Amino acid sequence: MLQRVVSTMRLILIKILFIFSVSLILGGCETLKNVLPGDSESAKNECAQWKDADSQEDDCIDWDAAKFGSQARKALDAGNYDKAIKIYEALEARYPFGPDSAQTQLNIAYAYYKNGDHDSAISTADHFIKTNPRSPHVDYAYYLKGLVNYRRDIGFIDRYLPTDGSQRDPTNARESYNIFSELVRRFPTSKYVPDSKRRMIGLKNKMAMHEVHVARYYMKRKAYVAAANRAAGVIEKYQRTLAVPHALKIMQEAYTKLDMTEQAKDAERIYQANFDDKPPEEPNQGTAAEKVWDFIGLEE
C-alpha cells in the first residue's frame, strides 16, 4: 500500500516538473522571439526612429539587408543624413556579419561626416581600418579621416567670406596633413592620392603661414630672438611655400634689431636672389578652382 502511494506521488511530481519545464521553455521562446530580428514590436520601435508620419515606405518590419541599404542610400542622397545614419546603424545591428557589413561601416562614417559629426566619423573610420585592414576600400577610410580634419575649421561664414585660416590653431590642419601623407605613402596607386596631394599643398602653406603669424606676434612684442628662430623654422621645414619670403623679411628685420648685421644681410641676400622681382603673396582660401571644389563638395 505504501509503495503504491509513493509511486503515485512520484508520477504527480514528474507531471508537475514536466509542466513547469514546458512553461519555462515556452516563456524562453517568447522572450527570444522578442529580441530576434524581425520581431514586429522591436521592428516598429526601430522604424519609429526615422519614420515620416505620412510615409508608408519606412515600415521596416519586413525589410531585408538590401532594402535597408537602398533606403539608407535614398536618405543619404536626399541630404537627410541623420535618417541615413539611423537606418545604416539598424542595418548593421540586424545583419552584423552580412556580406556588405564593411561597406555599411564606411557609409555610416561618410554620413557622420556629412552630418557634421566629426568625432563619430573619425571613430567609425578608425574602427573600419582596425577591423578591415585588408579591405580594398581601406584607402577611402584614410581619405575620409583626412577630409574630416581638413573641413573641421571651415564653417558657414568661411565658405562665403574670404578668411585667413592660417591664423587659427593648426592642430587639425597638421592632423589632416599627416593622414593624407600616410595615405599617399601606403596607397600610392589609390584614386584618392591626387586630391590628397593637392590638399597637402594647401595645408602645408597654411601651417607655414601660421608660423609666420607667430613670428610677427613676437616682433610686435619685441621678442626678436624668438621671432628670428620661428622664421628660421619656416625656412627649414616649409620650403617652397608662400610663407618663405615673409619669413626671410622677418629674419632680416629681427637680426637688424639684434645688431646681428651679417645674419641680416644673409637673409636680405637670399630674399633678393629669389623674391626681389615679385612681392610675397599672402595665402588665401586657394585658387578659384579650389573654391569651386570646396563649395560644391567635389570631395564626395
Altogether, the residues listed in the chain come to a count of: 300
Q: Which helix (H) or strand (E) holds 104?
A: helix 101-114
- pLDDT value of residue 21: 59
Are 288 and 145 contained in the same domain? Answer: yes
| pLDDT above 70 for 215 | yes
Residues 2-59: tens digit of each pLDDT: 555 446 566 555 555 555 554 544 444 444 344 444 455 555 556 766 665 445 555 6
Contact 69, 100 (CB under 8 A): yes
Q: Which residue has the cell 603669424?
A: 213
Nearest to 105 by CA among 82, 83, 130: 130
| pLDDT above 70 for 298 | no
Are 288 and 147 contained in the same domain? Answer: yes
Cα dist from 91 to 11, 66, 96, 99, whole Å: 51, 9, 8, 12
- pLDDT value of residue 58: 58
- pLDDT value of residue 98: 78
- pLDDT value of residue 68: 85
- pLDDT value of residue 97: 81
Are 28 and 160 contained in the same domain? Answer: no
On whether residue 58 sits in a domain, the answer given is: no
Q: What is the mean pLDDT of residues 214-224?
A: 95
- pLDDT value of residue 252: 96
Residues 161-213: tens digit of each pLDDT: 444 555 567 889 999 999 999 999 999 999 999 999 999 999 999 999 999 99
Alpha-carbon distance of 268 to 264, in angstroms, equals: 6
Are 158 and 291 contained in the same domain? Answer: yes
Q: Name the residue range of residue 240's domain.
A: 136-296
On whether residue 46 sits in a domain, the answer given is: no
Alpha-carbon distance of 88 to 40, in angstroms, equals: 19
Distance, CA of 249 to chain centre: 38
Are 152 and 22 contained in the same domain? Answer: no
> Which residues, 6 or more positions from 224, have their beta carbon under 8 angstroms from its beta carbon?
218, 254, 255, 257, 258
Contact 125, 145 (CB under 8 A): yes
Q: Which helix (H) or strand (E) holds 29?
A: helix 2-35
Compute φ and ψ for 162, nearest 5 degrees.
-70, 115
Q: How confident is the model at residue 62 (pLDDT cuts 50, 70, 90)?
A: confident
Are 158 and 29 contained in the same domain? Answer: no
Are 148 and 16 contained in the same domain? Answer: no
- pLDDT value of residue 50: 65
Residues 259-280: tens digit of each pLDDT: 999 999 999 999 999 887 665 6
On whether residue 81 sits in a domain, the answer given is: no
| pLDDT above 70 for 296 | no
CA atoms within 13 A on the CB side of 233: 15
Tally of domains within the chain: 2
Q: What is the mean pLDDT of residues 210-225?
A: 95
Nearest to 280 by CA among 251, 240, 243, 253: 243
- pLDDT value of residue 281: 61
On whether residue 125 sits in a domain, the answer given is: no
Cα dist from 67 to 60, 95, 178, 222, 238, whole Å: 9, 12, 38, 66, 51
Are 21 and 142 contained in the same domain? Answer: no
Are 141 and 19 contained in the same domain? Answer: no
On whether residue 185 sits in a domain, the answer given is: yes
Contact 251, 218 (CB under 8 A): no
Are 31 and 162 contained in the same domain? Answer: no
Give the CATH number for residue 179: 1.25.40.10
On whether residue 23 sits in a domain, the answer given is: yes
On whether residue 20 sits in a domain, the answer given is: yes
Q: What is the mean pLDDT of residues 80-99?
A: 88
Percent of the chain with pLDDT over 70: 67
